[in-house]
Every structure is written in C-alpha cells, then in structure tokens.
Amino acid sequence: MTEEDPYLWLEDVTGERSLDWVRARNDESAAELTGTERFAALRDDIREVLDADDRIPYVRRRGEYVYNFWQDATHPRGLWRRTTPEDYRNDEPAWELLLDVDALAAAEDENWVWQGAAVLRPGYRFALVELSRGGADATVVREFDLDERRFVEGGFELPEAKSNIGWIDVDRVYVGTDFGEGSLTDSGYPRIVKEWRRGTPIEEAVTVFEGKPEDVSVRGSHDPTEGFERDFVTRSLDFYRSERYLRTAAGLVRLDVPDDANTSIHREWLLVRVKSPWQIGGAEYPSGALLAMKLDAFLEDGREFTMIFEPDEHTSLEYYTWTRNHLLLATLSDVKTELHALTPSNGWRSEPLPGGTALGAAEILDTDPDVSDEYLLNTSGYTEPATLTCGEVGGTTEVLKQAPAFFDADGMSVEQHFATSADGTRIPYFVVTPSGSEAGPTLLTGYGGFEVSMTPGYSGVTGRSWLARGGTYVMANIRGGGEYGPQWHTQVIKAKRYKVYEDFSAVAADLVERGITTPARLGIQGGSNGGLLMGVMLTRYPALFGAIVSQVPLLDMKRYHKLLAGASWMAEYGDPDEPEQWAYIGEYSPYQNVHSGRDYPPTLFVTSTRDDRVHPAHARKMMARMVEQGHDVRYYENIEGGHGAAADNEQLAFKWALVFEFLWEKLTAS
C-alpha cells in the first residue's frame, strides 16, 4: 500500500497540535466512561488494592540487608528502603529509609519515577540509581551512598538517555549512553561501551567495544565473584541473537556458541541454553536444552557438554538461577510450574524443589549465590493470593509473608482447556469462572510474542474489577510465547506470524463452543505486542468479539521500525521496507487493514505520551482513522506513564478502571 498517510502529524509526540488532539479524545472518553458512581467505586477499589498496607513488601538481598521499593497512597512515587533479613521476618519490619522519591521530585520540581538501582558488590555501600521523567525508558543515573543515604557529590552521573551502566569496582564502571552523533544504534540504544573512571570526565572514558548501527545494543559487565572475577562484552545483533566476549588482558575472546543461544557463567561453570538444534562435540542437542561445561575446559577447545535439561513435548525450561552450590530450574509442564535443584558436584543430580503448584505459578525471586543456598520463592494462583517462602536447598522452608485476599474466591473454579488451531496445534488456556456464572461476560487476554510465557498468578485488580463482579477471566497460551520452549516462539515469527492470530481466534471460538460465553459477551484485552494482537483481532476476526481493548499497542506495522525502539523488533516481525516481507506484514497490519463500511466491535485504545518504547502514534493514528471511518471507538492517552501507561498508583487505578468499566458496560449491554 503506497497511499500517503494523512495522520503522520500525530507522530509528533509532544507537538501542540498532537497534544490538543489527545486532550480532546481523552475528554470524550472521560465524559463517556468516568462520570458514574460505578466508575468511581471501581477506581477506588483498584486503588485500595494497589495501595494496601498489608501487601507483601518484596525484597532483594544485597549483603547484610534486604532492599524494597514501596509505593502507597502516602508515597505515590515511592520509598527505597532496607532492613535486615531477621527483622524482615517481623509483621512490621523496622525499615531504614534510603530515598524518598516523592520528596526528591518535589525538591527538584521533576516528575521522577523510580527505575531501579544497581548496588556495588562486594561492599554494598554504593548504588547507581536510575530515575525517569514520567516513567519513560530513558533514565538519568546518579550514584548513591547507602551509608550516608544521599547522592554522591561528583560521583558517577548520566543525563537522560537509554543508557547501560554497571559497576566494575568502586572507582570504575562500564557505560554505554548517548555520547553524541553516531553513538546509538538504529534502535536508539548504546552502540559503544566504554570504561569510565571515577573523577574523570566521561569524554575521557576508554572505548572497550563498538557495535554497528544496525545492532540492537552493546554493553559491558563485570562478574565480581571472589576468585572468579571476569569481564564481558555483549553485542546484541538483534532481539534474539548476540555475541558474547570475555575481556582479557590480550583482548576480547568470543565465546564460540550459537548466536541465538543464551549463555551464562557462574563460578567455574558455563551454561548454554540452545534455541536451535546444535551439533557439537559429536552430539546433537535439541532446541530448548540446557548444557553445562566448565568454562576453562571450553576455552581450551573442550566441546563435550553435559545436557542437564532436555525438553519434551509437554515440558520446557522457563528459567534458572544459582545459589552458592546448586542450580535451580523452573520448568513448565503444560504451563504448570515445577521446580528442581541440580547439584554439579554430584554429576548434576536433580531433586524436586518444594513449591510447584497444580494450576498456579512459582517464581524464585532471589538468591544470594555468593554465600548461601537460600532462595526466596513466591507462589500464587488465579484464586490463591501470593505466599512468600524462604527455603534452603536440602533444608527447611519458612513462610515469610502471606498476601491478603482482595476478593472472595469462594466457589470460583480454575480449569485448563485446549483449543485446536487452524494447523492442528493444541493451544492451552486457563479459565477462571465465578460461582454460578454461565455464558456471562468473559475477558480473554493473551500476548503471543518474544518468547514471553503467560503463567497463572493472583491479581487483586482483576479479581475485584472482573471476577468479583461475575465476569469470567481467560488466559490464552498462544504460540509466540515460551510456554513450550523456543520452538513455540520461533515457529510463528515473521512470515508465520499469522499463526499467532489463528491460535487466539481458535481459543475465542472454543470458548463459545464450550458454552462458556457468546461472541457478544466476549471481550479481549492486551498490551504492547498484545495490543497488536488486539488490533489484528479487531480487523480480521471482528465477529468473534463484543468489545476490544488495545493498550500501548503496535498497530502501524508499515512504520513500526522507524518509531522509537521499533527497529529492535524486526527479528520478530520482519522488515516492512523489504517488499517480500511487507507482503506478509501488510496482510495483518491493523492500521492498513481497517476499512469503512465494516462492522467492528466497540474498541478502546489506551497509551501513554511518555512511552518511549512503543510510539503513542500507533494508537493515535488508528483512532483517527477509525473515527474518520465512523466506527465505535474511544481513546485515552496518559500524558505520563511510560510503557506501563501509568506513573503512579493513582494513574494506574484510573487506567484499569477505564478498561474494566468499558468492557463491563459493552459486554453486559445486551
């Protein structure tokens, strides 16, 4: 399609004309959806969940302290704080305040949003704190003294950019940032990594590695494990392929593994998770396998790996993490979590780790691999609030915290079903049904991209806003995710992308066939790549749905690679500037496939001005085109919020109330 885009002017993110258009659309949506007592009650209910004082304060251990970032009604921008592991076990720990982001924002008249901190190890005295304006991906970086509880005057500091920065030691960091013209990739991330010494201007930082403009990014990192100190450079060729180098006195030494494999190093061990079948050392390893070898042996041309995890038709490796002496694996068996502890000193002997759930998820949140075999485990299910447990491999477990129940789940059922996609593939999905609900309003969600697995878990917001009102909730585990390993993803990228949409539509049809709902009472919601999924459902399968919410979406796939971080996703979708690739992208690109004279379900687009990952123009232009064509559509754009479309709990509560109110109104109207 070569016609000129009449709405290109909406790509001017903060232009006066664009923002006037945004404010007008916001006012229209607010007038339609927010003026009732029901909306106000829903918003307040969600805010109560988000700000609840009895939520679990999740922590990460760094040295002798555990650290937490906390937001509530009194501190909407949040508090960074710490306490001892012993005191954390108390119902009301004695928190030591490190940084009050609300006070900082007020003092500096800036809209600061917390984006995390990297604490120097060993020693744990200094941290590199990242803050963004309005929740954007681009951050400012400032060095923070944890003992003095203040920013370090004259310390490491970076202006706003999409930077990579990490400690080498107390006086040196690896840094990649906007050094000026030519220093960023086409995707807007660092192309150059440098070593920067304390007390010197960044202009004098020494270049360690330069990537190419078409790369996604490069970064440097340091492993400070005592006795195993090493430095690395990682060059991300695209979203899934990378080269990893060991930095030595003689120069960079590339780790000779497939560029689509994931590698990690812990103490003496090299781990390789292969995404494509790999032949090496006289053996062939399947996609999704996890391999181990001692690093020194590999660097000396050793090629005989031990396969410590082998996938099968139903089971895949979700993630792994180390304790001091053990490797912890989390696997998915038909999207249900199982945990295992492997011990290298015993020939990689595997033993079950307590914590897996039948229809829920178990996530290892933190370990301290320098000193202990302890781990923090969080478990939950759709109707079971989270439980935080501290365990020790081979030892006992202790419940540390229990989250409150935010809705009455009595009588609710959770089931897993399988739909059959157009090519015969079985697609799993979970259904959460309130007591006595038959063919009621149903909300279906999914993602289907970037090897992201969608696993069960408790949501007080969804529970109160949907389930407690009598709505049925459905999560589809469509291809494009990682629920069944890398091939569940790779078989639907680029030219095979259409299978993602066939999967989701198959789940929608199966829900109706089973009598769970009807098309008029079936709503769908998704964000980012899931927002693209919603856009395709709108334009290709409109008869299946009664209402659609598309959040922070990609929609104009003709120009996605020219907008913000879009170029980094061409490994997923393809290059629309290549005619043979645009031939298949153009078949589903929502912006090019919405037409007048067709019946589409009521639709809501939600995005954020400050989203510097997925450009808000995707939603803006789609909205403008649909209004021009006379469709039933509305729009809300938060002026703050980044890719999450909200900068604090007040904004988050408003956003979700808008989404759930729209869906409830449309799906219960008939």
| pLDDT at position 2 | 42
| pLDDT at position 612 | 84
The tens digit of pLDDT for each residue in 94-136 reads 999 999 999 999 999 999 999 999 999 999 999 999 999 988 8
Q: Tell me the C-alpha distance between 142 and 129, whole Å.
A: 5
At 208, the pLDDT band (50, 70, 90 cuts) reads: very high
| pLDDT at position 646 | 57
Q: What is the mean pLDDT of residues 47-75?
A: 95
Question: ω before 122 within 30° of 0 (cis)?
Answer: yes
| pLDDT at position 356 | 59
Q: What is the mean pLDDT of residues 647-667?
A: 93
Min mean pLDDT across 25-39, 399-413, 424-438 is at: 424-438
Q: Are 590 and 116 in contact (CB under 8 A)?
A: no
In the chain, the percentage of residues whose pLDDT exceeds 70 is 97
| pLDDT at position 634 | 98
User: Helix %, strand %, coil % for the chain, to 5?
Assistant: 25, 35, 40
Q: Are 205 and 172 in contact (CB under 8 A)?
A: no
Among the listed residues 4, 20, 8, the one whose alpha carbon sits nearest the alpha carbon of residue 609? 20
Which are the catalytic amino acids?
A: 528, 643
**Residue whose tokens read 């079985």:** 426
| pLDDT at position 1 | 38
The tens digit of pLDDT for each residue in 290-337 reads 999 999 999 999 999 999 999 999 999 999 999 999 999 999 999 999
Q: CATH classification of 16-48+406-667 is 3.40.50.300, yes or no?
A: no
117: β partners: 129
Whether 444 has a pLDDT exceeding 70, the answer reads: yes
The tens digit of pLDDT for each residue in 404-419 reads 999 999 999 999 999 9
Whether 438 has a pLDDT exceeding 80, the answer reads: no
At 642, the pLDDT band (50, 70, 90 cuts) reads: low
At 648, the pLDDT band (50, 70, 90 cuts) reads: confident
Among the listed residues 445, 500, 278, the one whose alpha carbon sits nearest the alpha carbon of residue 491? 500
Q: Considering the entire predicted model, what is its pTM?
A: 0.93
User: Length of the chain in residues, anyone?
Assistant: 670
The tens digit of pLDDT for each residue in 504-518 reads 999 999 999 999 999
The tens digit of pLDDT for each residue in 348-382 reads 999 999 865 667 889 999 999 999 999 999 999 99
In the chain, the percentage of residues whose pLDDT exceeds 90 is 93
Neighbour tally for 265: CB within 10 Å = 18
